[in-house]
Every structure is written in structure tokens, then in C-alpha cells.
Amino acid sequence: MLFEDTKYFDYKFPEPQYLGAKYIHRGWIAQFIPERTNVVLDAFSGSQSIAYMFKQLGKKVITNDFLNFNNLIGKALIENSSNKLDSSDIELLFSENSDPSKYNLMSELYTGLFFCDEESSFIDSFRSNVHKLSNPYKQALALSIMCRSMTRKVTMGHFAHTQALVYASDPTRIKRNRSLIRPLKNIFLDLLPEYNAAVFNNLKDNISYNKNILDLLPTLEDVDLVYFDPPYCNSHADYQSFYHLLETYVEYWKDKQFVNGIKRYEPKRYSGFDKNSEAISNLQLMFKQAHHIPTWLVSYNDRSFPDIETMVDLISPYRNVKVERKVYNSGRGGKGSVAGSSEILLVCTMK
DNA sequence: ACCTGGTATCAGCGACTACA
DNA sequence: TGTAGTCGCTGATACCAGGT
């Protein structure tokens, strides 16, 4: 590899906890990027770990996710080239609630469910002060780190798991995951240096979007490569339910209903990719819309709907497809282990 | 048959520690 | 400085119940 390709590699992406984060596969995926690729689109960016890898490789990165809390990570770490949070910013964020009658959503919804009273008051007051930061990049950074801190509190990183407070009073649970009883403020302060250190300038005009990919794709020109990492149907692929709390926190909805035991917001955003019944037709449309982008990389696995053969059939009208496979030699064990399954990358090139 | 909401799980990785 | 032992942390999960 040339120096040009590695000069940003000292920067380190703050490790994500998301289900399905491609962070651990980023080196493997990188080898399939053709030479002379300058402009790259990450269409379903999630944690932003792959967009970050593209940025480290010196590409101009266009990144997108239909959930805003993911877009904000994109603003903070991909689009942002220099803004970090300093001690005066932290002082602002940790000051008292600037408008308790307006900023009380987390307390009202999640006290006794995901957080104790003190903690939900703290995140409400933190949220009330975010707008005092001097620009949108600092604001995005602050919200990203707080979302990451909150994620540490729940099993599997899911806010569909309602046992956080039960576990927080169970000594064996606490022994296994000390974050359960640590104040969010402390977790935030631990993560802060990692996030600050991850901000860098690759001398490109990078941009993060918060759109449905089916609306964004037709508007983009001059993209050399697109990376698709769509939700994998067949198991639960409803990321809005898993991470509803984070989206509610950044959006601070005032016009939604909050339903069920988990207090998920309703109505949900339209995804188009999270139901078996819609997945194929929307993948078909998406591939059609990507006709003007020469190279496509599609992450997949061998346990999802539609199956790999169907995916290849959907792409074949437009591109040559090569199926690359990385076998997990050892999963992380346990019930959630994916040992023995494969990570798939469909490498799609011009005919 | 499919969708949605919810709970339960344990093996392995890797960071850390103790000891030589 | 090297290595064996310890232990914290995690999971595109597995499974079930109930609704449409």
C-alpha cells in the first residue's frame, strides 16, 4: 500500500456496539475497492464505521442513514473535519436544564423503564443545552457520544430489551457489565477523548445525509463506488424498534405517540427494507437507481431473506457479480453467536 | 404465515494481572 | 519481557407468545 493510502490510519474509529456493525470486517472489505476510486457512497451507514474507513483511505465520502442518530455520527466524524468538544463545551452541556418544561421527554417516557430518575433528568438537561454549542458539528458530536453512552446500559445494545433496571440491581449482572450502575456522565467522559481523537480532515468535502436511500440515489452524480449494507430480513431487521430511544432523544419528538412497553415512537419512518414483503421490490428499485455508479459492494450473509442466489439475480441485469465469502472461524459464542456462518460481499462490476 | 414485542444466554475474545 | 491465568463484556441470536 502507498503512503497516500495509509496516512490517516493513526486515527481510530470509536468502537461501535451496534448489531451488525461492519467494523470488524472493514479491512476485508477494503481490499475490494478498485484503484482510482475517488468518490464513495455508504448507502446504509449505521454506525459509520465503513464510511470512516473510506475517509481514512482519503476518499470523498457521501454517507447516508435514514435514522437521524446515525446521520449525526456521520456529521460528527465524517463531515466534520476539525470541531472537537473542549472543557468549556462540557461545562455548558453539564449545566442545569435550560428549560425543564420543554426538556422532560426522557424523564416522562423512560424513568423506571430504562433509567432511574436521576439519570433521565441528567440526559434531559444535557439535551436542553446541546443547542448552546457554537455549531452543528459540536452538537452532533455531543449527541453521538451521549447516544453511545446510553447504549452501554442495555443488553445487546437494544432498547427493545426492558431489563436494564432489573439487571442494574443484580450483582452478578453488574459484575459482568459495570456500565449498568455507572453514571452516564462518567461513561460520557470516558468516551469523549476517543471521539475527539477520531475527528480529522482528509482534505475532501465529505457529507452526511439523513434520507431514505431510494430518495437520495437519483440525486447523486459522479459517484465511483457505492457500498450497500441493507438490513437483513428473516431475523428482526427493525432497527427503528431496537434503537427507538436514541432517535427519540436526538429528534426530541413532540408530535409522536409512544407505544407498547418499550415506549417506541409511532408512526415510524418508512424504511422499505425491514419487511420480507417489501424487501425484494425495493432492492430491485435500488439497484436500478444505482445504474450510474460503476462499482457496487453489497454486504450480506448466508442466513437472510432474500437468499444470496436471489440477490445475485437482482443485480445480474446491471452488473457482473462475484460472491466473496469470509467464514467466521470463531463466533463470540453464546446464544447470539454467529459462529459457522459467513460474511458475504457481492462485488459488482461493469459488464 | 407473517409480523411484532419481549425475555434469556453462555462461549470466546482480548485486556489485564500476577508472577518469574 | 514473556506467558499463563483471570475475568469483563458482548452478540445482523434463539425462542416464545400473541396479534392480524
Identify the DSSP state of A237.
-
Q: Using a 7 Å CB cutoff, list residues 158-197 of A near strand C.
A: 158, 175-179
Q: Which of A81-85, A194-198, A309-313 ranks highest by mean pLDDT? A: A81-85
Q: Given this model, what pLDDT does residue A236 score?
A: 61
The pLDDT confidence band at residue A7, using thresholds 50, 70 and 90, is: confident
Could you give all domains of chain A from N- to C-terminal order, each with its CATH number? 3-349 (3.40.50.150)
The arithmetic mean of pLDDT across residues A272-296, rounded, is 91
Angle between helix A117-129 and A184-198 (nearest 10): 40
How wide is the angle at C-alpha A308 spanned by C-alphas A307 and A314, nearest 5°?
95
The pLDDT confidence band at residue A187, using thresholds 50, 70 and 90, is: confident
A241 touches strand B (CB under 7 A): yes
Q: Given this model, what pLDDT does residue A306 score?
A: 83
Top pLDDT among A266 and A318 is at A318
A235 touches strand B (CB under 7 A): no
With 0-12 / 13-18 / 19 or more C-beta atoms within 10 angstroms meaning exposed / middle / buried, residue A37 is middle
The pLDDT confidence band at residue A171, using thresholds 50, 70 and 90, is: low
Q: Which nt is closest to the CA of A176, judged by C1'?
A: C8
Phi first, then psi: give them for residue A207, nearest 5 degrees. -145, 145
**Chain segment A199-236, per-residue pLDDT in tens:** 999 999 999 999 999 999 999 999 999 999 888 776 56
Nearest residue by alpha-carbon distance to C1' of C8 = A176
Q: How many residues does chain A have?
A: 351
Question: Using CA atoms, how far apart are residues A196 and A61, in angstroms rounded to an integer?
Answer: 20
Q: Which nt is closest to the CA of A156, judged by C1'?
A: C11
The pLDDT confidence band at residue A86, using thresholds 50, 70 and 90, is: very high
Which of A106-110, A189-193, A332-336 is least confident?
A: A332-336
Top pLDDT among A180 and A306 is at A306
Q: Using a 7 Å CB cutoff, list residues 269-328 of A near strand C.
A: 299, 301, 303
Distance of CA A44 to the CA centre of its chain: 8
* Residue A38 CA distance to nucleotide B3 C1' (Å): 42
Q: Which nt is closest to the CA of A162, judged by C1'?
A: B6
Q: Is the pLDDT of residue A19 over 60?
A: no
The pLDDT confidence band at residue A191, using thresholds 50, 70 and 90, is: confident
- Cα separation values, A59 from A177, A213, A290, Å: 38, 20, 19
Please state, as a whole number, how many other Cβ atoms lie within 10 Å of the Cβ of residue A174: 15
**Chain segment A322-335, per-residue pLDDT in tens:** 999 877 655 555 56
A163 touches strand B (CB under 7 A): yes
The pLDDT confidence band at residue A80, using thresholds 50, 70 and 90, is: very high
Question: Using CA atoms, how far apart are residues A164 and A153, in angstroms rounded to an integer?
Answer: 6
Cell numbers that stand for A286 in this block? 435500488
Q: Using a 7 Å CB cutoff, list residues 264-323 of A near strand B.
A: 264, 274-277
A333 touches strand B (CB under 7 A): yes
Q: Using a 7 Å CB cutoff, list residues 251-270 of A near strand B.
A: 259-262, 264
A229 touches strand C (CB under 7 A): yes
The pLDDT confidence band at residue A176, using thresholds 50, 70 and 90, is: low
Nearest residue by alpha-carbon distance to C1' of C14 = A335
A19 touches strand B (CB under 7 A): no
Q: Is the pLDDT of residue A141 over 90?
A: yes
The arithmetic mean of pLDDT across residues A259-284, rounded, is 84
* Residue A231 CA distance to nucleotide B8 C1' (Å): 24
- The H-or-E segment that residue A344 falls in is strand A342-349
Give the whole-number percent of chain A exceeding pLDDT 70.
Answer: 87
Top pLDDT among A23 and A244 is at A244
Q: Is the pLDDT of residue A317 over 90?
A: yes
A349 touches strand B (CB under 7 A): no
Cell numbers that stand for A317 in this block? 441485469
The pLDDT confidence band at residue A172, using thresholds 50, 70 and 90, is: low
Q: Given this model, what pLDDT does residue A346 score?
A: 93
Q: Is the pLDDT of residue A108 over 80?
A: yes
* Residue A110 CA distance to nucleotide B11 C1' (Å): 33
- The H-or-E segment that residue A171 falls in is helix A171-176
Mean pLDDT over all residues of chain A? 86
Q: Which of A226-230, A268-272, A297-301 ranks highest by mean pLDDT? A: A226-230
Q: Given this model, what pLDDT does residue A264 score?
A: 84
Please, which positions of strand C sit below 7 A from a protein CB?
7-15
Top pLDDT among A324 and A27 is at A324
A212 touches strand C (CB under 7 A): no
Identify the DSSP state of A251.
H
The arithmetic mean of pLDDT across residues A158-162, rounded, is 74
